[in-house]
Amino acid sequence: MSNNRKNVKALILSGGGVKGTFQYGAVDHIYNHVLEKGEKFKIVCGVSAGALTGSIIAQDKFQLGKDIWMNQIKKRVPAFKMKFPIFALILYGILPGIALLIKLKNTDSLFKNEKLRKILNEVCKDLVQILERDETYLRLGIVEYQTGEYKSVDPTSSKYRDRVVDAIVASTSIPLAFPPVRINKKKGYQYFDGGVINMTPFKDMFDITRQPDFRKKYNLESIYAVLCSPISNRESHQYYKGLFDIASRTLDILCKEIYLNDKEVFDRTNAFVWFRDEIEKKFPDKKEELEKIYKQILKETDIDIKKYFTSTCKVIAPDPEKWKDFLESDLYPDGPQVPVKKNDNSEKLFWKQFPSTFSKDPKKLMAAYHFGMFMAREILGSKKQL
């Protein structure tokens, strides 16, 4: 294989609703303090909020994406609205309960997202052409309602190139919160948030690195995975009683468990790849014996380690224990939301002040953005671009 392959980086983006503000803040730091000037991610894989961010970053439109997020934060996230106006809810509350039940029975979601689609139609109108021109690999995760299968969407494929926005909207459609999306109207299949099955799409990235055209051009140097929710098992210090609070916390728990499963697959695959490289160095004359071992691993694990190529991975996620440090740091916008006392518990402050999946509070969302920058700086450090 040619030694002239270019070293490139991969970006893995999880879901999390409007907590995608944290994610974009982390990407902000990576763009401005980690990547070299003019450097681009050549692999971008995202689900849910990560599909939205990923479709922007894969086009190298970081500043445009930041402007969109800032505008959404300031205007209380107009990209999604309650499907029922407040006066309608009051009316149904007054009418007999059966009327409300009938209305809810015929409703596929609580929110509508037409404005998000409008934004994507403009931002992604040249997505396919840019991906092909820059030789960038983008994958978006969706789930098919009728089969329950996870689908990894390649926007440049013939199946999706004319339905890219449909795929992105589908990936951001959290079940019950947003309506499912029909991509192929002839089949009548409905699609929704890929994060329900695959919260951090490491496998999509692995599948890209196995492709001969990728291996011919690129060498995967490093991987950055950015999550929107904490991954610790520590107590949240909150009592949940509202419908949206309970739904949001449920999603947090599901996201954490799915991520841990995804990371286990990533670590196991990494270990197999390391094993392959080391054993081939030590036993260059044992190809037939090694081939038998590889076949047995494939049979037992469904991992073809002959084709996988991977690298080190840095994971950035909100850490409640770091929240108090953030409040007192140079990155916190406009000073603390509440006076920070010496004995204040960082985790309790975090769960009170960090936004939920459906939050529209500008202060919380802006703080989450800057916390993403803070956590990325804590984990990755900084270097001045040339």
CB of 193 closer than 8 Å to CB of 144? no
The confidence score (pLDDT) of residue 300 equals 87
CB of 169 closer than 8 Å to CB of 117? yes
Q: Lowest-pLDDT range, 98-107, 170-179, 305-314? A: 98-107
Tokens of 375: 């956590």
Alpha-carbon distances, residue 314 vs 83, 113, 157 (angstroms) = 39, 32, 29
Q: Lowest-pLDDT range, 83-97, 113-127, 305-319? A: 83-97
CB of 146 closer than 8 Å to CB of 132? no
CB of 372 closer than 8 Å to CB of 29? yes
**Cα 15 from Cα 68, distance rounded (Å):** 18
User: Apex CA 291: angle with CA 287 and CA 294, to 5°?
Assistant: 135
Residue type (1 letter), 258: I
Map tokens 């503000």 to a residue.
Answer: 21
Q: Lowest-pLDDT range, 23-32, 86-95, 228-237, 259-268? A: 86-95
The confidence score (pLDDT) of residue 333 equals 86
CB of 352 closer than 8 Å to CB of 243? no
The DSSP secondary-structure symbol of 18 reads: G
The confidence score (pLDDT) of residue 150 equals 94
Residue 369, judged by CB atoms within 10 A of its CB (0-12, 13-18, 19+), counts as buried
Q: Where are the alpha helices (DSSP H) in 85-239?
A: 86-94, 97-105, 114-123, 127-134, 164-171, 202-209, 212-217
The confidence score (pLDDT) of residue 1 equals 47
Residue 33, pLDDT above cutoff 70: yes
Residue 87, pLDDT above cutoff 50: no
CB of 306 closer than 8 Å to CB of 294? yes
The confidence score (pLDDT) of residue 242 equals 65
Residue 291, judged by CB atoms within 10 A of its CB (0-12, 13-18, 19+), counts as exposed
**Cα 341 from Cα 331, distance rounded (Å):** 18
**Cα 151 from Cα 194, distance rounded (Å):** 8
Average pLDDT of span 138-151: 94
Residue 298, pLDDT above cutoff 60: yes
The confidence score (pLDDT) of residue 239 equals 65
| CATH code, residues 6-280+308-380 | 3.40.1090
**Whole-number average pLDDT of the chain:** 84
pLDDT band at 248 (very low <50, low <70, confident <90, very high): low
Residues 6+ apart with CB under 8 A from 289: 283
pLDDT band at 10 (very low <50, low <70, confident <90, very high): very high
pLDDT band at 183 (very low <50, low <70, confident <90, very high): confident
Domain extents in the chain: 6-280+308-380
**Cα 235 from Cα 239, distance rounded (Å):** 11
The confidence score (pLDDT) of residue 338 equals 55
Average pLDDT of span 177-188: 82
Residues 6+ apart with CB under 8 A from 167: 51, 140, 142, 153, 155, 160, 183, 191
Between 288 and 102, whose confidence is greater?
Answer: 288
How many CB atoms sit inside 10 A of residue 232's CB? 13
pLDDT band at 98 (very low <50, low <70, confident <90, very high): low
